Amino acid sequence: MIIMEVLRTVLSYIEEGGASLRPFLFIGAISATRRILAIGAEMSISGETQRQLTREDFTRRMIDLGINAVVILIIVIALYLLARREVK
């Protein structure tokens, strides 16, 4: 999906002579969501193998999840503002 978004942006730039911010925001949202899912999968696998997470590892993963969630929230707000600007 990320490659398709980049290709769509390149084609848009060639056809219209300008680039849109929207595809890059979608790529960022997909990337942050993928990272959240990867952290969840890592934590569930470590639970199945009975390997205990250290307090530092757990804290690091929770901070990573929080930062990715904030990034997604910011991207959603940016997409909303872009859509609102286009309506006017």
Residue whose C-alpha is closest to residue 74's, from 38, 19, 25: 25
* Higher pLDDT, residue 71 or 6: 71
Residue whose C-alpha is closest to residue 71's, from 26, 27, 32, 24: 32
Residue whose C-alpha is closest to residue 58's, from 41, 45, 39: 39
pLDDT tens string 16-44: 665 677 878 888 999 999 999 999 888 88
pLDDT tens string 34-70: 999 999 888 888 765 556 778 898 899 999 999 999 9
Residue type, 25: L
